[in-house]
Structure 1
Amino acid sequence: MTVTGIVLAAGDGSRLGGRAKALLPHRGRPLLHSVVDALQRGGCDETIVVVGAYTDDVAAVCPPGTTLVRNPRWEEGMSTSLQCGVDAATDADVIALTVVDFPGINSELVRAVLSAHEPGTVTLPMFGERPGHPVVFDLADAIAAAQQARGDEGARSFLSRHRNRVRRLDCAGLADPGDIDTVDDLHRLD
């Protein structure tokens, strides 16, 4: 079984003052490195990073062992990045989907979600009442989620339509689920 991690990193960081979130400093290196490292150490066989707004800057620091996928339609929203990432995951059996602005991700969390995943379901990490990442899909479900996604919603529509197949996994205590959206969130990088 091949597990592919997909990191959505194409946005322009407009709510963060127009900064590439992938390049934010985190533990002495770009945040992208922390996210990719967590996926790789957590059990992903390959990792795809979807870029858009800051393609050249992010490509310059993309960690070794990753596949960089350019999303020319990134301005249309997260759905287009999901589509590009899933389209590039040609050898995957399972997809672990995450966003680049999640500094709390770690290999323990990724390993827990991948270990709990069962074929025919979608595994959704939960932090209390808050859903998080990485979301784990069988490839067929990831393809369907990408096809159904519109605008900036990512896989939300698919998850809502298939509630009966979504397995919520309690991940409280495994990671800080906070993401980096605005300047006020930068403290999460410490």
Structure 2
Amino acid sequence: MFLRQSVTALPTVIVLAAGKGERFKASGGTQDKLQSLLCGQPVREHVLAAVRASGLPWHLVERTHTAHLTNPGMGDSIACGVAATPDAQGWLILPADLPLIQVSTLLKVAMALSEHEVVTPCYQGQQGHPVGFGLGCRAALSQLRGDQGARSVLAHHEVYRVAVDDDGCVLDVDTVDVLVLAELRLQEKRMYVGGH
């Protein structure tokens, strides 16, 4: 069942920052990937800057929020974020390792939630983040556990894909090589903006 939201009922961005970053460490990373510097700022801060600039309400889920669980995964983090935002009018689930995410992508997904129950941004055919969920998904999101994230919820809903011109929605810093690539892309964007 789809519970239609009004355009003025903005969803809450749940920023997921509770992961262990095992792939990043296995690739040679020497610290927490979210604290790794990207153009002088931690990866996580780039994500939070975009979220703040969007004007959407938001909630950060950190390891301290899931520390009481045995071997928590992304599903547990999502459930924790939904439980912590009982007045939310929907949710945008955004991993904190997407430092190039654009404000426009957050807003496009948020606006599409006024017409659709589940929304994902799509960049050149690739499904990205954040994934938007309407109010009708609250119970299912609240019961998520383990490392599968919200795949089970996606499998039971028609997913609306909104086209975006934002490689930042698919470029997650899971390895040191991707961190280097993100640094280059961010420098290119800054040079382009500075030169125009």
Q: TM-score, normalised by structure 2?
A: 0.77
Change (3 A) 1:78 1:140: same
1:14 Cα deviation (Å)? 1.3
Structure with the largest fraction of strand: 1
The reply to whether residue 188 of structure 1 matches residue 181 of structure 2 is: yes
1:120 Cα deviation (Å)? 4.8
Deviations 1:103-161 (A, max 9, x none): 221212111221222245111111223211111112331441342x3421111111012
The reply to whether residue 71 of structure 1 matches residue 66 of structure 2 is: yes
Task: State how 1:1-190 maps to structure 2 within 5 Å.
Answer: 1-17=9-25, 19-45=31-57, 47-52=58-63, 55=64, 70-72=65-67, 73=69, 75-147=71-143, 149-162=144-157, 164=158, 166-171=159-164, 173-176=165-168, 177-190=170-183
Change (3 A) 1:74 1:131: farther
1:15 Cα deviation (Å)? 1.3
Distance in 1, matches of 2:181 and 2:171, equals 7
- The higher radius of gyration belongs to 2
Distance in 2, matches of 1:27 and 1:91, equals 36
- Ranges in structure 1 where 5+ consecutive residues have no aligned partner: 56-69
Q: TM-score, normalised by structure 1?
A: 0.80
Distance in 2, matches of 1:34 and 1:139, equals 28
Residue matched to 1:58: none
Question: 1:9 touches 1:21 (CA, 8 Å); kept in 2?
Answer: no
Change (3 A) 1:43 1:12: same
Deviations 1:23-79 (A, max 9, x none): 12123222222111212222312x211111xx5xxxxxxxxxxxxxx1122733111
**What is the SS of the residue equivalent to 2:94?**
strand
Question: 1:10 touches 1:74 (CA, 8 Å); kept in 2?
Answer: no
Structure 1 consecutive aligned stretches of length 4 or more whose deviation exceeds 3 Å: none
- Ranges in structure 2 where 5+ consecutive residues have no aligned partner: 1-8, 184-196
Amino-acid identity (%): 34
Distance in 1, matches of 2:177 and 2:121, equals 24
Larger CA deviation: 15-24 vs 35-44: 15-24
**What is the SS of the residue equivalent to 2:93?**
strand
Distance in 1, matches of 2:74 and 2:82, equals 12
What value does the CA root-mean-square deviation take over the aligned residues? 2.0
